[in-house]
Structure 1
């Protein structure tokens, strides 16, 4: 193992790492744009296929299953071969299958009709492609940012993702409404796929796995990034046995189930729920845009929760030196607040079912509170994973999506199918609120000061971080 070089005080540092952060933020935006498009396009897709819209949740389950199953393999590739080649693979792969989604309901490809079963298969492979994006973003940030700034960097990533996820319902209306851009839903899908492919070309030219490999990074910036870092020489070998036996990692995985179980309603069910529950508002183009904007606002406002959670977590650690509570505290506040907001939204729907703005207000606030935990949760994976940050992040995201997202899509999908309208909303929101309070307890079991392997990198003290 080798220690980082000492700082070079007489040479002004370059700021290449912030261009890397910008590029990774664009990737986070594209992932959520392509994923959130499913929630907005499902009505048009299912109409073209002649299948009931309620059955679309099987498509979402196929995506989430694949997304979860391939998180750890993609994270392992990022740790052992570097995030550059892995991210190029995942983005090119998923852009291909987003493009193929635009062909369902047609016989354009060799005269073969792509029906509902084909849509499920295509979305499964879309999930395979998108798996590993965020674990490898975490690995890239671990390589490119000092420990004191990783919570902040992760907060910017999730802020970008939430921004585009929240904007997508309105963007979809702008692109597909006949009185506006007038694109058919297939054309919008092809446009989204093209944006992802374009990102790959720029990423290939700009990004390198580590600052030491980038020609635009000088010694001063490398010194800033590597203060206190000790890296393993040679190829990284993931300690699978230690990962499986880590109680810390299991606590992180169960904690992340809570977010996936309770939050995915906002992305996949809320846009359509808002349209059906407040139908009188959608008679005009302006009304459609308003409802779409309100449906996306939990993600749009949630991006400020992402930023605030990461910033406050890093600041708390710098001031107190207490990394354990610097991560835990804001996760517990976020989950507790999100649970209260779901209960409040259910109360509004029960007492005043036509109050669009108050209903939306509590869901927006819920999105904000949930997203306070995003940067601390992913920073914890870097804290305990270190050289294996992508694999640990992949494990968290895999377990969270496999147990949380798949179950909520299945459970929520069946509830909304058999109890449509207000009754289904009340059942779901009450269930989500209870699960969030359970999540507060899981945060108490997480200790970011206990890494998978102790020798990977020393944890800097509050005094050391304040001098940076």
Structure 2
């Protein structure tokens, strides 16, 4: 049983720079998800303006997922090789630029507009690929184990805050200035944030505001405060060991299920409200913020609950798996929206499903707990690659379901079943949660 208790360092009063780093991660991750969701908010107007059918729109949504998933492993390696500050900060600039440029597609028409949106969403996925592995790597280096559940939940809950806070704002911008202004405004915000990133973020040992007491506190609690760039080799035998781990395979399957729910809300949910429930764009933007607010609360509560169980002496396995299994099981209630007609009941079910999904979305906490010390960034990249295959599948599958049935009933059934899949994976496959120890071989196989 892995029971972890806090170890305080008494030599000096420690600084609390790690909390400011966490705040920056929250803000940057919020913008990260806002930039993903811009197309979702603008999609009904874009489809009308550019005459794009549901299947074509599904492929535009999925273009982000293709590149985002494929670049996870290289992105994780780049983080290990060159450090989180440089790789993550550069990515922030580039994805913000790609967001801004999507607004220019409105000056095109027909196949040219479709191709431009497809290409820009593909490039957006490339740019955003290092973000979540970077978050995990930074949390692993800045936080001890007993603070890691909540800290990971904070940056992960930014996806819900992004939808809650910015969906109504983007709906208002769209209604007043048009859909292109959504991309312009969000792109500029991200570019400005990139300058602040390079001015403030660094590794614990190199940050000018942190003192030795805080670094020792992090290290004594199991944090990887000495994690440095430059020493990582992309070794094939290490990758094989991670891909053969039953524990990690179960975690990957679970993340696919979790991300399916995420990507329904990030792509088709506003269209569901407009097309299936007859709402205006402005109302859909306001209503879409309700499940997101509950998801935000659920995400923070899930991380707090996991750390609370850990502090109460429960094993790491029990503390991490309990919120995940409960949350993912309850998220399947989204299917019940097919059997009710009252608008408020539909929104209540959607909110409950997203709140439960947030409560159970502790995959990145588990990655911080299980990643081999030699490959923290790469391990996060493999995990996010597996999970974000859902970002490819979900928009396209739902697009085809709509094209064939002209109804969202099958789409909600698909999304709900993935929640159940995530719960079953942690219940039956993952087993004990522990840090994977890589076996060094005499012959070094490198990619």
TM over 0.5: yes
Distance 1:51 1:441, change over 3 A: closer
Q: Which moved more, 1:360-369 or 1:9-18?
A: 9-18
Distance 1:260 1:160, change over 3 A: closer
**Aligned-partner Cα distance in 2 for 1:430–1:45:** 27
Aligned match of 1:465: none
The TM-score normalised by the length of structure 2 is: 0.89
Aligned match of 2:433: 449
Distance 1:266 1:232, change over 3 A: closer
CA contact (8 A) 1:142 1:386 kept: no
CA contact (8 A) 2:242 2:248 kept: yes
Extract unaligned runs of 5+ from structure 1.
1-5, 283-287, 457-468
- Counterpart pick for 1:223 among 216, 219, 228: 216
**Aligned-partner Cα distance in 2 for 1:122–1:433:** 30
**Aligned-partner Cα distance in 1 for 2:418–2:158:** 26
Structure 1 residues 233-267: Cα deviation after superposition (integer angstroms, max 9, x where no partner)? 87134522322222222111111111122332222
CA contact (8 A) 2:63 2:122 kept: yes
Aligned residues: 425
Give secondary structure in 1 for the equivalent of 2:13: coil
Q: Does 1:249 align with 2:244?
A: no
CA contact (8 A) 1:331 1:372 kept: yes
Aligned match of 2:177: 183
Shift of 1:21: 0.7
Aligned match of 1:271: 270
Aligned match of 1:459: none
Aligned match of 1:396: 383
Aligned match of 2:121: 123
Structure 1 residues 95-153: Cα deviation after superposition (integer angstroms, max 9, x where no partner)? 12111111113269xxxx95211211111111111112011011011111111111100
CA contact (8 A) 1:42 1:53 kept: no
Aligned match of 2:358: 371
RMSD: 2.3
**Aligned-partner Cα distance in 2 for 1:66–1:266:** 20
Aligned match of 1:207: 201
**Aligned-partner Cα distance in 2 for 1:201–1:131:** 19
Distance 1:337 1:193, change over 3 A: same
Equivalent positions of 1:347-362 (< 5 A) are: 347-348=339-340, 353=341, 355-362=342-349
- Counterpart pick for 1:331 among 324, 335, 338: 324
**Aligned-partner Cα distance in 1 for 2:131–2:404:** 35
Aligned match of 2:291: 298
Shift of 1:37: 1.1
Structure 1 residues 401-457: Cα deviation after superposition (integer angstroms, max 9, x where no partner)? 12x22222111111112222xxx222222233333223222002224533221799x
**Aligned-partner Cα distance in 2 for 1:176–1:432:** 28
